C-alpha cells in the first residue's frame, strides 16, 4: 500500500527553527500593545497552520498562483480598508503587510521564500525593540537568537545537500543532532558577548533616540479634566502605572500619590482652564518646590523614588507637600491648581522629599487664598435643592470649617457603599442620583458630592486625582501601583492651614488572588522592574553603580601576613557574606537542577526516542532505511559489551568473529534479517529484528 514519504529530519529541524524565528518576531510586536485585533489574529492563525503542516498533522499546499491571487485581491481591498474600515494609513498598511506575510508563511517552499520569511522575522524583532518596553521582549529576543542561529545553519546545510548525492536517513538524524549542539553553542556565545557588550559599552544615543521612542500612553483623568465615571472605568484595568520606593518608614502614612487638581465643575465634568503654569528651572537635576519657610517647618518628612512605567502624560505624582525633587529634566511646571508637570521630556523616574501635613504644626505664616481663587473654588453648577439641604443639615451644629468638612466626610464614608459597577445609562443629575437614589458609586462620585456640598456651605474645595497605596512587593522592595489603584479625593481650604486633604470614599473590597498566582505576579513584577531599571534605563550612571557593586562583592581582605590558606579562607568568607541568601539559595537550586539534568536527561532522552522509534516501526510498513537504523543500534549494544565492529568487515564476517559468545546466535539471526530487509525489499523481518535489538539493549552488560 502507498505510504507517505518519511519527513527529512534536517528539513524538519530547519522548518521548526524558522517557525521559532517568526513566532519570536510576532510575539515581540504583539506584546507591545501596538496591534489591533486583525493584526493579532491573522498571523497567529497562519503560524498555527504552518506548525500543523511541519508536524504532519495534515497536508496542505498553497500554490504560487493561489498565493499571487490572494495577494492581488488584498491589494485591491486595501483602499476599502483605508477609507472605510481602518480610517488610518498606518493601520491599513500594517494589515496589508501582515496579510501578505501570512500568505507567504503558508506558501513557503523555496529557498527564496525562506529567506524572505527570515527577513520578515528580523524586521519584526527590530520593530519590537522600538515599540516594546516590557520584559517579555527579552524572552522573545532569546528565542529569536536561538532559532535564527539554528535556522541559518540548517538552511545552509539544507541548500548544499539539495544538489548533492542522496544521503541516508540515519546520516540526516546525526546532522540534526550536530546542528542542535552547534546552534546552542553559538547562541550561548552570542548571548554572552551581547551581555558583556551591553554592560561595558557606554550609552551615548539616549538623547538622539529619545524622540523616536513612543511616549507613555495617555490615561484619561490625570491631565486637565475628568468626567464622572471615568476613574471607575480606569479601575477596571490592572495595567501597571508606576513603581514607588520609600526610603523612610511609611508607618502610619496614608499613601496617596497626588497628581492633578481640578477646580471647575459643570455637573458632570471636572476641568481646569488652559494654564501655562509657573516654570521652575532645575539646577544639577534638582529643584526646590517649596518655600524656605515651608522647608524649615517642623514635622515629619518622607523621601521616595517614583518610576513611571506608563500612563499619564507628563504629570508628576507626590506624597504630601513636595519640597525637593531630583529629576532628569531642565524644568518643572507648577500649575495654578497646585499640580506639577515635567514639561516636554516626560522623564520616567525621579526622587523627591515631601512634608506630611500635621495639624499640630501649622505654617508660621498663615496662607492666604486670593479673592479670585476663592470665587473659583466656590462655584457650583445648577443642582437639585436636596443636595444643599443635606449639606446644611449635616453641618448646622458645627462651628469651624474643618469640623464641617469632617462631618460631611464621615457621613459619606459611613452611609454609602462603594462599587466599581458603572451606571447602565446616563442620568439627569449625577450627584443627586448618587446621594438620594443609588447611594453607592466609585471614588469620583464621593469626592464630587463632598466638594459640591462644601462649596454650597461656603468652604472652597477642589478634587484631586491620583493613586493610593499600591501593592508592596517584598521581592523587589518596591510598591506596584496599577490603574486599579486610581483614586479621587477632596482638598478643602481651611483658614490658617491652607489646602487640607479629605477622603470621603469608603473602603472597597480588595481583589483576591490565589496564593500561587499572587506569588507568581510578584515575581513577574520584580522581573519587569529589573528590566526597566537595568535595561530600559541603563546608562553611564547605572554602569558606575554596577561596577561599584561588583567591586564591593569581590573585594578581598587585606593581607595580614598569614599563610596562603588563611588568606584564601578569609577571601571566601568575604565573598559569601556579600551574597544575598535568597540569591544564593536560588543559584544553588539552579545548579542542582542543571546537574541532575546533565546526569539523567541524556539517558531519559535516549530511552524516550528509542521507544518512539519502536512504536513507529511497528505501526507502519517497513522501509529499507529501517535496516540501517536497527543495525546501528545493534552495533551500539554490542559495543557496550566489548565487541567493536571494524570498518573493513562485512556484517556476516563480523558475526562470525563472535565465536561462541552468549549473544552470537542472536547476532547471526539479526545479520540475516538485516540483509533481507535492506536488500531483499521484504518488510516482514523488521519486527523480529527489532525484538532482537531490544533484547540486546535490555540485557545486562557482562
Burial of 227 (C-beta count, 10 Å sphere; 0-12/13-18/19+): middle
> Going by C-beta distance under 8 Å and a sequence separation of 6 or more, which residues neighbour residue 465?
221, 222, 226, 231, 259, 260, 261, 262, 444, 486, 487, 488
59-63: which pairs have CB atoms within 8 A and are 24 or more residues apart?
59/4, 60/106, 61/109, 62/103, 62/106, 62/107, 63/107
The DSSP bridge partners found for residue 279 are 333
For 104, the grid coordinates are 507567504
Say whether both 266 and 356 belong to one domain: yes
Same domain, yes or no, for 266 and 408? yes
Question: 583-615 burial, b if ≥16 CB within 10 A, otherwise e?
Answer: eeeeeeeeeeeeeeeeeeeeeeeeeeeeeebee
538 inside domain: no
Instruction: Examine residue 580 and state whether it is found in any structural domain, yes or no.
Output: no
Q: What is the dihedral of CA 88, 93, 98, 99, to 10 degrees?
A: 100
Would you say 59 and 159 are in contact if contact means Cβ atoms under 8 Å apart? no
**Measured CA angle at 255 (ends 438, 411), to 5 deg:** 30
pLDDT score recorded for residue 210: 41
Domain shared by 361 and 488, yes or no: yes
Specify the pLDDT at position 201: 47
Q: What does the pLDDT read at residue 1? A: 35
Please name the residues in contact with 233: beta carbons below 8 A apart, sequence gap of 6 or more: 422
The whole-model pTM stands at 0.54
For residues 235 and 199, state if they share a domain. Answer: no
Domain boundary among 485, 502, 519: 502
Q: Compute the chain's Rg from CA coordinates.
A: 36
Specify if 76 maps to a domain: yes
| Cell numbers for 270 | 471636572
* Shared domain check, 454 and 388: yes
Choose the final residue of a domain: 180, 210, 240.
210
- Rounded to 5 degrees, φ, ψ at 128 are -65, -35
374/465 same-domain check: yes
Same domain, 241 and 330: yes
Pairing of strands 440-441, 417-418: parallel
pLDDT attached to residue 390: 92
Q: How many domains does the chain have?
A: 3
Pairing status of strand 278-281 against strand 331-334: antiparallel
Identify the pLDDT of residue 33. Answer: 73
Pair 200, 248 in one domain: no
For residue 551, tell me if it sits in a domain: no
Cα–Cα distance, 25 to 126 (Å, whole number): 8
CA distance 224 to 276: 12
Residues 199 and 279 in one domain: no
Cα distance from N-terminal residue to C-terminal residue, the chain: 43
**408 sits in which H/E element:** helix 401-415
In a domain, 591, yes or no: no
Q: Are residues 74 and 149 in the same domain?
A: yes
531 part of a folded domain: no
Q: Give the domain-ending residue among 502, 536, 566.
A: 502
Residue 564 lies in a domain: no
Same domain? For 407 and 332 the reply is yes
Taking the chain (702 residues) in runs of 10, the rounded mean pLDDT of each run is 51 85 87 80 90 82 83 86 78 81 86 84 78 71 84 72 48 57 66 54 43 43 67 64 82 80 86 81 86 85 83 76 87 83 71 83 80 91 90 90 92 88 78 89 88 92 87 81 85 89 80 57 68 57 52 46 50 52 60 69 73 72 73 80 78 81 80 78 72 75 46
Q: How far apart are CA 75 and CA 238, in angstroms?
A: 39
| Cα separation, 588 vs 152, whole angstroms | 35
**CA gap 361, 102 in Å, rounded:** 68
Q: Does residue 391 contact residue 359 with C-beta atoms inside 8 Å?
A: no
Look at the chain and count its residues: 702
H-type alpha helices, 478-559: 515-531, 540-554
Q: Considering only CA atoms, which of 560, 447, 423 is closest in space to residue 501?
A: 447
Residues 279 and 434: their CA atoms lie apart, in Å, by 39
Residue 570 counted as domain residue: no
Q: Are residues 272 and 193 located together in one domain of the fold?
A: no
- Domain with 666, as residue range(s), is 621-698
Amino acid at each position: 500500500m502507498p505510504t507517505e514519504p518519511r519527513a527529512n529530519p534536517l528539513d524538519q529541524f530547519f522548518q521548526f527553527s524558522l517557525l521559532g524565528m517568526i513566532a519570536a518576531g510576532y510575539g515581540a510586536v504583539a506584546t507591545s500593545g501596538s496591534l489591533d485585533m486583525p493584526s493579532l489574529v491573522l498571523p497567529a492563525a497562519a503560524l498555527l497552520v504552518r506548525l500543523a503542516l511541519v508536524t504532519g498533522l495534515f497536508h496542505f499546499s498553497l500554490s504560487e498562483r493561489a498565493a499571487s491571487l490572494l495577494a492581488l485581491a488584498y491589494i485591491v481591498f486595501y483602499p476599502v480598508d483605508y477609507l472605510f474600515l481602518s480610517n488610518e494609513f498606518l493601520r491599513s498598511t500594517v494589515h496589508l503587510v501582515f496579510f501578505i506575510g501570512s500568505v507567504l508563511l503558508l506558501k513557503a517552499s523555496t529557498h527564496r521564500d525562506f529567506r524572505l520569511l527570515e527577513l520578515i522575522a528580523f524586521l519584526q524583532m527590530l520593530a519590537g525593540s522600538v515599540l516594546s518596553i516590557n520584559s517579555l521582549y527579552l524572552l522573545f529576543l532569546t528565542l529569536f537568537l536561538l532559532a535564527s542561529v539554528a535556522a541559518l545553519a540548517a538552511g545552509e546545510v539544507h541548500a548544499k545537500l539539495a544538489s548533492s548525492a542522496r544521503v541516508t536517513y540515519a546520516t540526516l538524524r546525526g546532522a540534526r543532532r550536530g546542528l542542535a549542539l552547534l546552534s546552542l553553542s553559538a547562541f550561548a556565545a552570542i548571548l554572552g558577548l551581547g551581555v558583556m557588550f551591553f554592560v561595558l559599552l557606554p550609552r551615548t544615543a539616549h538623547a538622539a533616540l529619545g524622540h523616536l521612542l513612543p511616549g507613555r500612553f495617555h490615561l484619561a483623568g490625570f491631565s486637565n479634566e475628568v468626567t464622572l465615571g471615568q476613574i471607575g472605568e480606569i479601575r477596571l484595568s490592572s495595567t501597571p502605572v508606576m513603581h514607588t520606593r520609600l526610603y523612610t518608614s511609611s508607618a502610619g502614612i496614608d499613601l496617596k500619590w497626588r497628581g492633578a487638581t481640578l477646580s471647575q465643575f459643570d455637573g458632570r465634568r471636572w476641568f481646569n482652564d488652559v494654564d501655562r503654569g509657573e516654570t521652575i528651572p532645575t539646577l544639577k537635576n534638582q529643584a526646590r518646590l517649596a518655600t524656605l519657610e515651608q522647608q524649615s517647618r517642623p514635622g515629619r518628612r518622607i523621601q521616595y523614588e517614583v518610576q513611571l512605567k506608563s500612563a499619564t502624560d507628563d504629570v508628576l505624582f507626590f506624597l504630601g507637600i513636595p519640597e525637593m525633587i531630583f529629576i532628569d529634566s531642565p524644568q518643572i511646571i507648577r500649575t495654578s491648581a497646585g499640580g506639577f508637570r515635567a514639561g516636554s521630556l516626560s522623564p520616567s523616574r525621579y526622587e523627591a522629599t515631601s512634608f506630611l501635613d500635621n495639624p499640630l504644626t501649622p505654617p508660621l505664616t498663615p496662607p492666604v487664598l486670593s479673592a479670585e481663587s476663592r470665587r473659583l473654588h466656590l462655584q457650583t453648577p445648577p443642582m437639585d435643592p436636596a443636595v444643599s439641604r443635606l449639606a446644611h443639615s449635616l453641618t448646622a451644629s458645627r462651628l469651624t470649617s474643618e469640623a464641617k468638612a469632617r462631618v460631611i466626610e464621615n457621613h459619606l464614608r459611613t452611609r454609602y457603599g462603594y462599587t466599581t459597577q458603572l451606571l447602565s445609562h446616563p442620568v439627569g443629575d449625577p450627584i443627586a442620583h448618587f446621594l438620594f437614589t443609588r447611594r453607592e458609586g466609585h471614588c469620583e462620585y464621593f469626592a464630587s458630592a463632598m466638594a459640591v456640598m462644601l462649596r454650597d456651605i461656603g468652604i472652597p474645595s477642589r478634587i484631586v486625582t491620583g493613586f493610593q497605596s499600591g501593592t508592596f512587593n517584598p521581592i523587589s522592595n518596591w510598591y506596584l501601583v496599577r490603574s486599579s489603584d486610581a483614586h479621587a479625593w477632596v482638598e478643602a481650604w481651611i483658614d490658617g492651614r491652607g489646602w487640607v486633604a479629605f477622603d470621603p470614599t469608603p473602603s472597597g473590597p480588595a481583589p483576591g488572588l490565589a496564593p500561587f498566582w499572587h506569588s507568581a505576579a510578584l515575581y513577574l513584577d520584580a522581573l519587569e522592574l529589573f528590566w526597566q531599571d537595568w535595561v530600559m534605563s541603563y546608562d553611564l550612571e547605572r554602569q558606575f553603580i554596577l561596577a561599584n557593586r561588583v567591586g564591593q562583592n569581590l573585594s578581598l581582605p587585606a593581607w595580614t601576613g598569614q599563610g596562603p590558606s588563611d588568606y584564601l579562607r578569609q577571601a571566601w568568607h568575604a565573598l559569601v557574606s556579600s551574597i544575598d541568601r535568597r540569591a544564593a539559595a536560588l543559584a544553588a537550586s539552579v545548579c542542582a537542577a542543571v546537574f541532575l539534568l546533565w546526569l539523567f536527561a541524556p539517558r531519559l532522552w535516549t530511552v524516550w526516542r528509542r521507544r518512539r522509534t519502536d512504536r513507529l516501526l511497528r505501526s507502519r510498513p517497513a522501509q529499507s532505511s529501517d535496516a540501517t537504523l536497527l543495525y546501528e543500534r545493534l552495533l551500539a549494544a554490542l559495543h557496550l559489551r566489548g565487541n567493536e565492529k571494524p570498518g573493513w568487515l562485512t556484517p556476516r564476517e563480523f558475526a562470525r568473529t563472535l565465536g561462541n559468545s552468549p549473544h552470537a546466535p542472536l547476532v547471526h539471526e539479526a545479520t540475516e534479517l538485516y540483509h533481507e530487509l535492506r536488500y531483499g525489499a521484504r518488510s516482514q523481518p523488521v519486527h523480529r529484528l527489532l525484538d532482537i535489538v531490544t533484547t540486546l539493549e535490555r540485557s545486562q552488560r557482562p
